[in-house]
Amino acid sequence: MRDFNRRGIIGLVGGAAAWPLAARAQQPRMPIVGFLNSASPEAFASYVEAFLDGLKETGFAEGQNVAVEYRWARGRYDQLGSLAADLAARKVDVIVASGEPSVSAAKAATSTIPIVFLVGGDPVQLGLVSSFNRPRGNATGVTILTISLDLKRLGLLRDTLAAANKIAVLINPSFPGSDARVRDIERAAHSIGQDLVIAGARNEEEINRIFADWRDRAPDALLVAGDPFLNARRDQIVALAASNSTPAIYEFRDFAVAGGLMSYGTHLPPLYRQQGAYAGRILRGAKPAEIPVWQPSKIDFVINLKTAKSLDLTIPPGVLAIANEVIE
């Protein structure tokens, strides 16, 4: 009888010790978001913060009830395939990818894990979704449609600098879709009789070399056709344009705030916030196939009058009148 009681007590003690472990093992796994980007965390810190704010709007806080696995290619587009494959192998719950190269890598890595993209091109033409309202497939997200905005930027340069004989376009030829983008800009320039100089830069050294070549024969104005790499080199490009006394128009407000003459485009943080909110909706059970692609309706035109003064440039009243923001 004594032996039986002893075994029973041991069994009860052992069961009590094992119960918390079993209970913990049965707790639901914290969902994981894979964040894939071709740039660097240093250049995109404010955008990551906006993305995390979007997640919070849907009830997810990093480190509390959601984990975020970051993968940065740091301008090396050739690394994106392996980074996306790693996220897919880790079976993350959703992949958030920004820029066409990152999104293409994510699409190639998985056809089942939901993808929330942020792209500058038309997601239907890129083959990411079937339509804006009903994406189908495993992807949805945000689009800027930046190519059509390039044509407006060209027009704003012309309106500001009526005597501009030669306008340069700085673009990264390694970025997918750059050839089509250049063709569209060239076609628009040809229709208004504007001469263009196309300058391709794939790395920091090539950016420096281009501006060095322009030192003695600088173009009358510059249009920067941004991509994740060129956007990450904001301070370098703005400083070189200033040293060459070249009026330039950029894609994002950050460039004008940093000292660029003008910017025309969408404000990026709200787009990343929307991307985070979409990721949160998917974590809560929504299907990407049923979430419409989001496109911002507000376009900001920012003029830096301090920079205009340093360039000894007078902004025409008609151009000033349509600016959303003037930095003085």
Residue 111 pLDDT? 96
Q: Are strands 195-200 and 262-265 parallel, antiparallel or unpaired?
A: unpaired
Residue 178 in this model has a pLDDT that exceeds 80: yes
Task: State percent of the chain over pLDDT 90.
Answer: 72
**What is the distance between the alpha carbons of residues 266 and 278, in angstroms, rounded to a whole number?**
18
Contact by Cβ (8 Å): 229, 242: no
Domain 146-265+300-327 has CATH 3.40.50.2300: yes
Residue 60 pLDDT? 98
The token pair at 19 is 């119960």
Q: What is the pTM of this model?
A: 0.81
Asked if the domains 32-144+267-290 and 146-265+300-327 are classified in one and the same CATH topology, the answer is: yes
3-state percent helix, strand, coil for the chain, nearest multiple of 5? 45, 20, 35
* Residue spans per domain, the chain: 32-144+267-290, 146-265+300-327
**What is the distance between the alpha carbons of residues 287 and 280, in angstroms, rounded to a whole number?**
11
Q: What is the mean pLDDT of the chain?
A: 89
**What is the distance between the alpha carbons of residues 165 and 220, in angstroms, rounded to a whole number?**
7
Residue 232 in this model has a pLDDT that exceeds 90: no
**What is the distance between the alpha carbons of residues 125 and 148, in angstroms, rounded to a whole number?**
14
Kindly state which CATH superfamily the domain 32-144+267-290 is placed in: Response regulator (3.40.50.2300)
